């Protein structure tokens, strides 16, 4: 396990360029299995979640060529549809996308349940509801899942919750089903139209991605394509919040500002001064931050993935801020670590109350999950003295070159 050692309270200024979106790349890579020809994906972030997917592709005998410039070429014409065991599947939550891709292509999947950050119960019942509606039989035990179908047939599928993973997974299986599938109450996160564009470039017929009704007309064959991963809105949001918390001047570039509109509006309410450009946001620390309230919601609401990072900024705002986490049950573990740094926080069920402004002090803390870790990096950069963040591997799952990016703007950060 790695540790991040951060000496806080330094002058931060400069530019950070945002990488390709983790949550998009982790679906695009398994989805390449649906096609028998070369698939080229560019702007793939170099993060450990992508390493874990590469291991699964190699296990299935797919050919994967990861270049230094973020381009990944996948050839899965002659893969072996072998069971994916616990060691491989548990490395990341998104291993569940192999279910949709392998079911779509081979009508058979055997794999261990997915792993990932412990931020809640993380069931996959909606994914399975979709696969069953398409004609798959679901069997297995507490550890493994087996999906089988003679053939997949298009169906109308209503999602009881607009789940990102279930929407994408059903799309993957349905592109190779016979007939038309309609996903109702589909998730609308920006990653979904990007993934649909990629599948359409392979020859799929998907309409409505990015709205709450997605229509997929099944096709027999998917062909070679090239595709670019969209910029990571959560990485962008993380660095913008960091800029608002403690930068003299920070330009966060290569982003799509409208994908983080809910964050930018909240920051304006807090009195953060920003210049919003076409592909960038320039931001600096504000001395008079006002307390605010956030409620995490599905897109275009405030993203749960930025809530833990906002918590660090809230310690600097005057008055009582609050967070109402409605998506995940266990997403406040970062707050207990921030208490050790001197933050004033109360947690009551799914709500947290943060009173500021408080001067944070460096100490030894633990990253408990990916975004908790990112929030603690912001807290450590704000704090006086040295902070050691244990279990930093969580952070490396989703932030490409975080140490280099932070050093370039003047942060004193070391990964050991
Ligand atoms: C994705 C993101 C994650 C983000 C989340 C919500 C990826 C790889 N991860 O996760 O970073 O926090 O969206 O924006 O893209 N649920 C069910 N049954 C299911 C599936 C989900 O009840 O079958 C519930 C979950 O318990 C949770 C909610 O739906 O309460 C949201 O889950 P979902 O949108 O599926 O999140 P993920 O796709 O896993």
| Mean pLDDT rounded to a whole number for the chain | 96
Query: Which mutation among 164, 171, 399 tests ligand 1's pocket best, with the greatest number of atoms within 8 A of CB?
Result: 164
Q: Report which protein residue has its CA nearest ligand 1's atom 12.
A: 305
Is 117 among the residues known to form the active site?
Answer: yes
Find out whether the beta carbon of 124 lies less than 6 Å from any atom of ligand 1.
yes
User: pLDDT digit string (tens) for 316-354?
Assistant: 999 999 999 999 988 999 999 999 999 999 999 999 999
Fold annotation for 22-228:
UDP-n-acetylglucosamine1-carboxyvinyl-transferase; Chain (3.65.10)
Find out whether the beta carbon of 188 lies less than 6 Å from any atom of ligand 1.
no
Asked whether residue 162 carries a pLDDT value surpassing 70, the answer given is yes
What's the CA gap between 253 and 240, in Å, rounded?
A: 10
Asked whether residue 12 carries a pLDDT value surpassing 80, the answer given is yes
CA of 143 to the centre of ligand 1 (A): 20
Asked whether residue 166 carries a pLDDT value surpassing 90, the answer given is yes
What's the CA gap between 282 and 302, in Å, rounded?
A: 20
User: pLDDT digit string (tens) for 260-296?
Assistant: 999 999 999 999 999 999 999 999 998 899 999 999 9
Predicted pLDDT at 410? 98
> Do the beta carbons of residue 112 and residue 84 sit within 8 Å?
yes
What does DSSP assign to residue 360? Answer: -
User: What's phi and psi for 359, nearest 5 deg?
Assistant: -80, 120
Q: Which two tokens stand for residue 54?
A: 């590469």
Query: Which mutation among 327, 372, 398 tests ligand 1's pocket best, with the greatest number of atoms within 8 A of CB?
Result: 327
User: pLDDT digit string (tens) for 192-231?
Assistant: 999 999 999 999 999 999 999 999 999 999 999 999 999 9
Nearest ligand 1 atom to alpha carbon 234: 11
Asked whether residue 115 carries a pLDDT value surpassing 80, the answer given is no
Predicted pLDDT at 141? 86
Asked whether residue 111 carries a pLDDT value surpassing 60, the answer given is yes
CA of 165 to the centre of ligand 1 (A): 6
Find out whether the beta carbon of 53 lies less than 6 Å from any atom of ligand 1.
no
Q: Which CATH class is domain 4-19+231-415?
A: alpha beta
Closest to 211 measured CA to CA, from 194, 198, 229, 193: 193
Nearest ligand 1 atom to alpha carbon 327: 30
Asked whether residue 117 carries a pLDDT value surpassing 60, the answer given is no
Asked whether residue 65 carries a pLDDT value surpassing 60, the answer given is yes
Asked whether residue 119 carries a pLDDT value surpassing 60, the answer given is no
pLDDT band at 50 (very low <50, low <70, confident <90, very high): very high
User: What's phi and psi for 212, nearest 5 deg?
Assistant: -90, 5
> Do the beta carbons of residue 162 and residue 209 sit within 8 Å?
no
Find out whether the beta carbon of 307 lies less than 6 Å from any atom of ligand 1.
no
Q: Report which protein residue has its CA nearest ligand 1's atom 4.
A: 305
Predicted pLDDT at 121? 65
Helix (H, G, I), strand (E, B) or coil at 42: strand
Nearest ligand 1 atom to alpha carbon 23: 15
Residues linked to residue 211 through DSSP beta bridges, in sequence order: 209
User: Out of 121-135, 166-180, 228-242, 355-369, which region has the weakest mean confidence (pLDDT)?
Assistant: 121-135
Q: Compute the average pLDDT of residues 39-54.
A: 96
Find out whether the beta carbon of 165 lies less than 6 Å from any atom of ligand 1.
yes
Asked whether residue 122 carries a pLDDT value surpassing 80, the answer given is no
Q: How far is CA 356 from CA 304, 319, 320, in A?
A: 22, 6, 7
Find out whether the beta carbon of 26 lies less than 6 Å from any atom of ligand 1.
yes
Asked whether residue 118 carries a pLDDT value surpassing 70, the answer given is no
Domain boundaries, the chain: 4-19+231-415, 22-228
pLDDT: which is higher, 362 or 90:
362
Predicted pLDDT at 120? 59
Closest to 46 measured CA to CA, from 15, 27, 18, 19: 19
Find out whether the beta carbon of 296 lies less than 6 Å from any atom of ligand 1.
no
Find all residues with CB under 8 Å of 129, minimum gap 6, and list them. Answer: 157, 159, 166
The Cβ-side half-sphere exposure at 52, using a 13 Å CA radius, reads: 30
Find all residues with CB under 8 Å of 201, minimum gap 6, and list them. Answer: 225, 226, 227
Nearest ligand 1 atom to alpha carbon 125: 23
Marked catalytic residue, from 24, 35, 117, 225: 117
Find out whether the beta carbon of 23 lies less than 6 Å from any atom of ligand 1.
yes
CA of 166 to the centre of ligand 1 (A): 8
Q: Report which protein residue has its CA nearest ligand 1's atom 20.
A: 124
One fold for 4-19+231-415 and 22-228: yes
Find out whether the beta carbon of 120 lies less than 6 Å from any atom of ligand 1.
yes
Find out whether the beta carbon of 170 lies less than 6 Å from any atom of ligand 1.
no
Predicted pLDDT at 116? 59
Q: Where are the beta strands (DSSP E) in 314-361?
A: 319-324, 344-348, 351-356
Q: Compute the average pLDDT of residues 65-74.
A: 96
CA of 110 to the centre of ligand 1 (A): 22
Q: Report which protein residue has its CA nearest ligand 1's atom 37.
A: 165
What's the CA gap between 204 and 232, in Å, rounded?
A: 24
CA of 382 to the centre of ligand 1 (A): 30
Query: Which mutation among 45, 53, 123, 165 tests ligand 1's pocket best, with the greatest number of atoms within 8 A of CB?
Result: 165
What's the CA gap between 51 and 72, in Å, rounded?
A: 12
Give the predicted TM-score (pTM) of the model: 0.97
């Amino acid at each position: 396990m790695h540790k991040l050692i951060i000496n806080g309270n330094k002058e931060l200024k400069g530019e950070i360029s945002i990488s390709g979106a983790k949550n998009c790349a982790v679906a695009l890579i398994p989805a390449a299995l649906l096609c028998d020809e070369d698939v080229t994906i560019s702007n793939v972030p170099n993060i450990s979640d992508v390493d874990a997917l590469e291991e699964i592709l190699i296990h299935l005998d797919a050919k994967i060529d990861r270049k230094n410039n973020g381009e990944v070429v996948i050839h899965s014409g002659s893969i072996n549809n072998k069971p994916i065991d616990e060691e491989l599947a548990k490395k990341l939550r998104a291993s569940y996308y192999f279910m949709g891709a392998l079911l779509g292509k081979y009508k058979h999947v055997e794999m261990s349940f997915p792993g990932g950050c412990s931020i809640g119960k993380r069931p996959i019942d909606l994914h399975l509801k979709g696969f069953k509606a398409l004609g798959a039989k679901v069997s297995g035990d507490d550890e493994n899942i087996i999906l089988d179908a003679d053939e997949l047939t298009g169906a109308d599928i209503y999602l009881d919750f607009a789940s990102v993973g279930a929407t994408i997974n059903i799309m993957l299986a349905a592109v190779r089903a016979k007939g038309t599938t309609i996903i109702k109450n589909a998730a609308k996160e920006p990653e979904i139209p990007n993934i649909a564009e990629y599948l359409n470039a392979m020859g799929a017929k998907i309409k409505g991605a990015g709205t709450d009704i997605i229509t997929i007309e099944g096709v027999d064959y998917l062909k070679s394509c090239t595709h670019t991963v969209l910029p990571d809105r959560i990485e962008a949001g993380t660095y913008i919040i960091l800029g608002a918390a403690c930068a003299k001047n920070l330009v966060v570039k290569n982003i799509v500002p409208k994908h983080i509109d809910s964050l930018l509006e909240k920051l304006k309410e807090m009195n953060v001064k920003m210049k919003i450009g076409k592909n960038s946001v320039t931001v600096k620390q504000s001395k008079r931050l006002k307390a605010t309230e956030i409620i995490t919601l599905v897109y275009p609401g405030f993203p749960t993935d930025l809530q833990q990072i906002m918590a660090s900024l809230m310690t600097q705002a005057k008055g009582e801020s609050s967070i109402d986490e409605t998506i995940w049950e266990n997403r406040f573990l970062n707050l207990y670590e921030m208490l050790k740094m001197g933050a004033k926080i109360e947690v009551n069920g799914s709500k947290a109350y943060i009173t500021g402004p408080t001067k944070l002090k460096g100490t030894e803390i633990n990253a408990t999950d990916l975004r908790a870790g990112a929030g603690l990096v912001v807290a450590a950069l704000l704090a006086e003295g040295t902070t050691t963040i244990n279990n930093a591997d969580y952070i490396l799952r989703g932030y490409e070159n975080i140490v280099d990016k932070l050093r370039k703007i003047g942060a004193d950060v070391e990964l050991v």
